[in-house]
């Protein structure tokens, strides 16, 4: 695995880091922009679609997908997160996946992959996106949300505010850098819009990309 922690030399592995994080997070924690993210997701989903919620956390999006008639499965790298998801949403499919390995799904298994507030945490972005593309059917869609880090926001706040040396946000994205990245991995067309906040200081990016 490239980037991030090396669990064999520097203490806990990344998986242990996220297990511990989910053990400590309060049950009452509310996801940011939940309703807006749900609207963005469900606007692209039809009944019967095969959908992967990649990095599902406590499973709110997976459950909403299932309620909409999609054939959805939520996956995460932390069993502690999945325990919460299963308790909150019985009957919805959830599965543990490796942090840095191949996704346990066949080529072209899904019509849509939803990755909300995930890509900024990924150590090996190239491998992750290659796996996302592999499990998407041709013409399938990738929906991504991630914090926005435009030049003015970083200038005013300082890079340390958004990328702490021991934090779990490993990458900062602008609308342009996210668009270029997805294009380089075989997604076209790609649209990225900035939301939530005043002009030039938007806090979030919503991306819609189609697998070629």
CATH number, domain of 124, equals 3.40.50.150
The pLDDT confidence band at residue 177, using thresholds 50, 70 and 90, is very high
Residue of 122, 113, 160 whose CA lies nearest to 140? 113
Q: Read off the pLDDT of residues 21-53 as tens digits, 9 standing for 90 and up.
A: 899 988 888 888 999 999 999 999 999 999 999
Largest CA distance in the chain: 47
Residue 7 lies in a domain: no
* HSE value, Cβ hemisphere, 13 Å, CA-based, for 137: 10
CA dist., res. 57 & res. 55, Å (int): 6
Residue 190 lies in a domain: yes
Q: Taking 60 as the threshold, does the pLDDT of residue 187 lie above it?
A: yes
Q: Taking 60 as the threshold, does the pLDDT of residue 77 lie above it?
A: yes
Q: What's residue 97's pLDDT?
A: 95
212 vs 152, which has greater pLDDT? Answer: 212
How many domains does one find in the chain?
Answer: 1
Q: State pTM to two decimals.
A: 0.87
Average pLDDT, stretch 99-115? 95
Residue 179 lies in a domain: yes
Residue 8 lies in a domain: no
CA dist., res. 138 & res. 107, Å (int): 10
The pLDDT confidence band at residue 10, using thresholds 50, 70 and 90, is very low
Q: Taking 70 as the threshold, does the pLDDT of residue 123 lie above it?
A: yes
Residue 94 lies in a domain: yes
Q: Taking 90 as the threshold, does the pLDDT of residue 153 lie above it?
A: no
């Amino acid at each position: 695995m490239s980037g991030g922690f090396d669990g064999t030399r520097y203490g806990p592995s990344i998986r242990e880091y996220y297990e511990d994080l989910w053990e400590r997070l309060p049950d009452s924690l509310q996801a940011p922009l939940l309703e807006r993210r749900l609207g963005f997701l469900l606007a692209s989903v039809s009944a019967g679609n095969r959908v992967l919620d990649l990095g599902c956390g406590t499973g709110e999006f997976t459950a909403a997908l299932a309620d909409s008639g999609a054939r959805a499965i939520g996956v995460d790298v932390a069993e502690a997160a999945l325990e919460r998801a299963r308790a909150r949403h019985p009957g919805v499919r959830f599965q543990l996946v490796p942090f840095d390995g191949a996704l346990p799904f066949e080529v072209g298994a899904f019509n849509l992959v939803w990755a909300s507030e995930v890509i900024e945490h990924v150590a090996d972005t190239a491998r992750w996106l290659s796996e996302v593309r592999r499990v998407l059917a041709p013409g399938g869609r990738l929906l991504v949300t991630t914090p926005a880090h435009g030049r003015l926001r970083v200038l005013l706040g300082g890079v340390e505010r958004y990328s702490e040396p021991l934090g779990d946000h490993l990458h900062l994205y602008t609308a342009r850098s996210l668009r270029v990245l997805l294009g380089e991995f075989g997604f076209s067309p790609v649209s990225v819009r900035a939301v939530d906040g005043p002009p030039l200081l938007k806090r979030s990016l919503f991306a819609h990309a189609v697998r070629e």
